[in-house]
Amino acid sequence: MADLFEKINKDPMLQVVRVAKDQGFYPYFKPLSTTEGTEVIIDGKRLIMIGSNNYLGLTTHPAVREAAMDAIATFGTSCTGSRFLNGTLDLHKELERRLASFLGKEAALIFGTGYQANLGALTALLGKDDIAIADKEIHASLVDALTMAGCKLKRFRHNDVNDLERLLKEYEGASKLVIVDGVYSMGGDLAPLPEITALAKKYNARVYLDDAHGLGVMGEGGRGTHFHFNCVDDVDVVMGTFSKSFASLGGVVAGSKDVIEYIQHKARSLIFSASMPPANVATVMACVDILEADPSYAQKVHRNAAKVRNALREMGFNCGESVTPVVPVIIGNDMSTVFAWRACFDAGIYVNPVLPPGVPPNKSLLRTSYMATHTDEQLDRVIEAFRAVGLKTGLISE
Ligand SMILES: Cc1ncc(COP(=O)(O)O)c(C=O)c1O
Distance between CA atoms of residues 133 and 248, nearest Å = 30
State in Å: Cα 172 to ligand 1 middle. Answer: 30
In this prediction, residue 35 has a pLDDT band, given cuts at 50, 70 and 90, of confident
Domain boundaries, the chain: 20-49+295-393, 60-293
355 within 8 A of 337, measured Cβ to Cβ: yes
Question: Which atom of ligand 1 has the smallest separation from the CA of 141?
Answer: 4
Ligand 1 contacts (CB < 6 A) are 113-115, 118, 139, 141, 181, 185, 210, 212-213, 241, 243, 251
Report the residue among 115, 118, 225 best suited for mutation to probe ligand 1: largest number of ligand atoms under 8 A from its CB: 115
Residues recorded for the chain: 398
Do 20-49+295-393 and 60-293 come out as alike in CATH topology? Answer: no
Question: Which atom of ligand 1 has the smallest separation from the CA of 115?
Answer: 11
Task: Name the average pLDDT for the chain.
Answer: 96
Q: Which residue type, as a one-letter code, is found at position 329?
A: V
State in Å: Cα 159 to ligand 1 middle. Answer: 19
With 0-12 / 13-18 / 19 or more C-beta atoms within 10 angstroms meaning exposed / middle / buried, residue 133 is buried
211 within 8 A of 224, measured Cβ to Cβ: yes
Global pTM value = 0.97
The 10s digit of each residue's pLDDT in 298-333 is 999 999 999 999 999 999 999 999 999 999 999 999
pLDDT (0 to 100) of residue 218: 98
What is the rounded average pLDDT of the residues 273-296?
A: 97
pLDDT (0 to 100) of residue 48: 97
The 10s digit of each residue's pLDDT in 329-387 is 999 999 999 999 999 999 999 999 999 888 989 999 999 999 999 999 999 999 999 99
pLDDT at 24 over 90: no
Question: Which atom of ligand 1 has the smallest separation from the CA of 242?
Answer: 10
324 within 8 A of 351, measured Cβ to Cβ: no
In this prediction, residue 136 has a pLDDT band, given cuts at 50, 70 and 90, of very high
pLDDT at 251 over 90: yes
Give strand pairing partners of 46: 41
Distance between CA atoms of residues 360 and 366, nearest Å = 14
The 10s digit of each residue's pLDDT in 173-202 is 999 999 999 999 999 999 999 999 999 999
State in Å: Cα 212 to ligand 1 middle. Answer: 6
Architecture of domain 60-293: 3-Layer(aba) Sandwich (3.40)
pLDDT (0 to 100) of residue 1: 81
Query: Please, what CATH class does the domain formed by 20-49+295-393 belong to?
Result: alpha beta
What is the rounded average pLDDT of the residues 202-223?
A: 97
